[in-house]
Chain A
Amino acid sequence: MSVFGEVALAAPVAVFKLSQDFNNDQFPNKVNLGVGAYRTDEGKPWVLPVVKKVEKVIVHDDSLNHEYLPILGLPEFRSSASKIALGEDSPAIQENRVGAVQCLGGTGALKMGAEFLRRFYNGNNNTKTPVYVSSPTWENHNAVFANAGFDDVRPYKYWDAANRGLDLAGFLGDLESCPAHSIFVLHACAHNPTGTDPTQEQWQLIAEVMMRRQLFVFFDSAYQGFASGNLDKDAWAVRYFVSMGFEMFCAQSFSKNFGLYNERVGNLTIVARDADNLKRVLSQMEKIVRTTWSNPPSQGARIVAVTLTSPELFSQWKDNVKTMANRVLLMRAQLKAKLQALGTAGTWDHITEQIGMFSFTGLNPKQVEYMVKERHIYLMASGRINMCGLTSKNIDYVAESIHETVTNVH
């Protein structure tokens, strides 16, 4: 008799299963438009040149060792990462009311923020506080907050499938009608999976309601720089909310914009009312970190800190980021052009209007299944494609496949 005799086989995480199926597929022209990782035009992973450079420096620096980082992480990483999100001249930083926790990727930052909120927000251990995530959203958002102990994780209206755009009225409606003090997870830019972001005017309307109804702002910023190619532009919403006086969290990931996926580099930026509140918050964050991973991994944070604090390396990094963003923009433009040239039914403006790594094609589940099974093009059941999976070599095949699918499968 085993203690674990009753343990059921859990379903695999969809996005990883997709990659697995892709890997097992023998079709020569198969295309992987699943997992959100950048690919070059040769369809290969890309280690940023600036990262290679910095890693070389690190490996040859005998003065560096592998000692424990402080519980909250590498100080230079935390402060430079927060500056990236909030801006070099952020008044909040100057007022000493911005702090940060180095975490394991964006996921880890969301996790730490969620654990803190569950314990200390809206009363103590108020597991009933609703947490709103966009409909749709990154599939792990639900699990992060549920596992942190929140009983009530709900969707807020976001994607308007009929019009393939933002359902602003629905979004604002949910903001107006939700219980006071609800927590809202907002995508800072390059919404995953829809690629549809509010405009600046729309963000202002969202902020106004959130301020008036005292809702908690929790930004998820996984694509800063990657969306438009410009760091400041991609941080506009976050900075606007800070300027409006919100106390808020911003979970930052450096997986995509630094290509440091497997080093798990993330930062939870905390904007508090003042230094005293910040200090107490950070002291409690330490306790949460200590029972989860004790202290964060060193390598990735070092790479980012060295890069961000050197004007020359920082400049190179921005170029590398632009390279990635520009390739994505090019693929968007070309895909739309080809679909239009093929005369594919429907409008395809959303391909270039959407932003970031992902595009919500609008393909329905049956069409997605056809794409996968018949055309060996792997995309998520939601119709989400990773633009980085497109290359100059496969874009014709993908465009033709979408055309065929839309034409024949309904």
Chain B
Amino acid sequence: MALLKSNKVIYCLGNISPSLGVLSTRNSSWWGGVQMGPPDPILGVSEAFKKDSNPKKMNLGVGAYRDDQGKPFVLSCVRKAEAIISSKQMDKEYLGIGGLGEFTKSCAQLAFGNDAEVLKSGRHITVQTISGTGSLRIGGNFLSRFHGGPRDVYLPKPSWGNHTPIFKDAGMQLKGYRYYDPSTCGFDFTGALDDISKIPEQSVIMLHACAHNPTGVDPRPEQWKEISDIVKKRNLLVFFDMAYQGFASGDIDRDAWAVRYFVEQGHNILLSQSFAKNMGLYGERVGGFTVVCKDAEEAKRVESQLKILIRPIYSNPPMNGARIAATILNTPDLYSVWLGEVKEMAERIIRMREELTAGLKKEGSSKNWQHVIDQIGMFCFTGLKPEQVERLTKEFSVYMTKDGRISMAGVTSGNVGYLAQGIHAVTK
């Protein structure tokens, strides 16, 4: 239906006429000055992997779980929940801005424990968010608008790559505290306490609840206790990112221990939860954002403001994934199936860690690979240097991020030997 009123077009500025195809340059476009954005470091790895024709190639980039055949895994509790939902033939009316009530309620219960005081007293608000990213962003926006303290969010060094741009775009500034010790491939406990003790009061500190991304290095319970003490002393606002509850140890209560301990200790935390990994609901974008408040009245005020923040971004959240998650969490049969499947996923990862370490020993590596077993969750910070990573990719078609992080989920009993070969070759 091209309806060129050519008489009128002629009087327009020549550089906007589509007929001047030959002269269509950057200069005649609104976007001439727009630079090509850099490829996302994590997702860019997958792109490169796709293009590789080596039959032995391995994608150890993105943190998405794979089964022992290297295939995506749809949990059976998810399929069952979907069948139940399908049979109910529900309508598709808009959710409220804060999302599906059955979901947000059980989301908070999962994090804090069913009998938690913070739930009973109603002194928390949980809103449904667009998975973990959406939750962190809403949290960042909320801090930016309402937090009276310093603009700084302190991230562990290193942290998930997307934390920084999320908080920046939300209007916060980023600082760091020591966390990973490259000399041990473990936790720099003294460094962390030292740095945290110097953080200005009322600053925001981000803590990974379990299965730290990218290092897989988590504090031990007694270390968490000391962190809690120093954070309290410094009067810092705690923001927990919990993207792997259940996925780390296989036990949902164990993985939530730090979160629950902090709340018991009186920290009124912010909490982001994701169900991408532990329910395999990646593309359905299921998450929650919680603010633990002084009392129920404050929670109501905070809730009202969260809605004001959410409305101009996407109005209200998507139903499908939240409905699946709520069905699983609230149906006892499905819930126990889920616990079993989450354990299964975590245990396969743990097995792969053991096999990789054994494999490296078998290859004759003289290096200490204990950290591969000590680290927890989806990711392993191998300790490989950028040049070694590059070689591993170029010579063995093993794809991972430059920081030496591998997703253990991409390792299978079929390829773990090859991986050990490759890692040994570039590190010997």
| Chain A residues within CB distance 8 Å of chain B | 2-13, 16, 35, 37, 44-47, 51-52, 55-56, 59, 65-71, 87, 91, 103-105, 107-108, 111, 120-121, 124, 140, 143-144, 146-148, 204, 208, 211-212, 214, 216, 232, 236, 239-240, 243-247, 255, 259-264, 272-274, 276-277, 279-281, 283-284, 286-288, 290-300
Contacts and interface: CB of A to CB of B under 8 A. Distances in A.
A194 B132 CA distance: 38
A296 B283 CA distance: 7
Contact of A13 (B74, B91, B97, B314): B97
A204 B108 CA distance: 54
Interface size range on B against A: 35 or more
B24 A291 contact: no
A239 B3 CA distance: 8
A296 B285 CA distance: 7
10 contacts: A5-B294, A10-B305, A37-B94, A71-B40, A104-B314, A280-B37, A290-B133, A294-B131, A297-B130, A298-B283
A394 B133 CA distance: 45
Given A120-B34, A280-B35, A232 B92 contact: no
Contacts of B282: 66-68
Contacts of B53: none
B33 A120 contact: yes
A107 B312 contact: yes
Contacts of B316: 105, 262, 264
B94 A261 contact: yes
Contact of B301 (A7, A46, A148, A277): A7
Interface in B298-330: 298, 300-302, 304-305, 307-308, 311-321
B133 A208 contact: no
Given A2-B294, A281-B31, A297 B2 contact: no
Contacts of A300: 318, 320
A4 B285 contact: no
Nearest to A107: B315
Contact of B137 (A59, A214, A247, A292): A292
Given A71-B43, A121-B30, A232 B312 contact: no
A136 B276 CA distance: 40
Nearest to B27: A273
B17 interface: yes
B29 A277 contact: yes
B281 A66 contact: yes
A108 B313 CA distance: 6
A212 B12 contact: yes
Nearest to B71: A65
B18 A245 contact: yes
Contact of A7 (B31, B131, B146, B280): B146
A120 to B, nearest CB: 5
- Interchain residue pairs A-B with the least CB separation, the first 5: A273-B29, A104-B314, A298-B283, A283-B37, A143-B312
B265 to A, nearest CB: 16
A297 B99 CA distance: 14
Given A6-B146, A105-B314, A108-B314, 17 more contacts: A4-B302, A5-B298, A6-B148, A7-B302, A9-B300, A13-B307, A66-B72, A66-B78, A140-B311, A245-B16, A277-B34, A290-B165, A291-B133, A292-B133, A294-B162, A295-B285, A298-B320
B32 interface: yes
A119 to B, nearest CB: 9
Nearest to A285: B37
**Most central of B36, B149, B268, B315 by chain A CB within 10 Å:** B315
A260 B92 contact: yes
A103 B314 CA distance: 8
A288 B168 CA distance: 11
A37 B35 CA distance: 41
Given A9-B301, A111-B312, A273-B28, A124 B285 contact: no
Contacts of B13: 214
Contacts of B149: 3
Given A107-B314, A283-B36, A284-B34, A243 B133 contact: no
B318 A261 contact: no
Contact of A87 (B1, B30, B304, B317): B1
Contacts of B29: 247, 272-274, 277
B64 interface: yes
Nearest to A35: B94
B83 A12 contact: no
B237 interface: yes
Given A143-B311, A287-B165, A264 B318 contact: yes
B164 to A, nearest CB: 9
Given A245-B17, A261-B92, A65 B319 contact: no
